[in-house]
Structure 1
Amino acid sequence: MHAIEFKGHLKEGVIRLPASYRHWREDRPVKVIVLVDDDETPQSPPLDANQRLAAILKVSRRCAAAPELDPRGADEIIGYDANGLPS
């Protein structure tokens, strides 16, 4: 196996090989790695209100299903001194 490197552009989900490699036979097995510059990564479209709510509910359900790792209450975890201040 050997590697080639070239810059290209996606068009309808397709990256065309440079002309110098188009003689390769069809169905030749290849391994593809795509690197994208961070500043050129397309942004996801903004979520509408219903999509945001669904995302928030998904996270809240996942948090609610998480196991309780410390059974103490918040007051017991923080601890208070004789004057009622957190210690």
Structure 2
Amino acid sequence: MKPTTLEDAVALTKKFTTRPSNEELLKLYGLYKQATEGDNETERPGGFDFKAAAKYSSWMAFKGKSKSEAADSYIDLVAQLSSKYL
């Protein structure tokens, strides 16, 4: 079952019975941030905060994608992942 809205897709991720891979989680994060906030205008995290840096990089990977395109991509990704994790 493919979710039809960003909110439905987010709700579906909470029903996953197994945790997606870190790569999949980062892609979900980046698409979600792009869909809800648009291009990342924040400064890159410094130091040894590798988790924050990975999240920053994931969001930056979608720079230039419109909010609606990012939302559609997020929904598609959740639909794809739901077959693995539900």
- The normalised TM-score by structure 2 is 0.20
Q: Which has the higher relative contact order, 1 or 2, with Cα contacts under 8 A spaced 6 or more apart? A: 2
- The normalised TM-score by structure 1 is 0.19
The structure with the larger Rg is 1
Q: Larger helix proportion, structure 1 or 2? A: 2
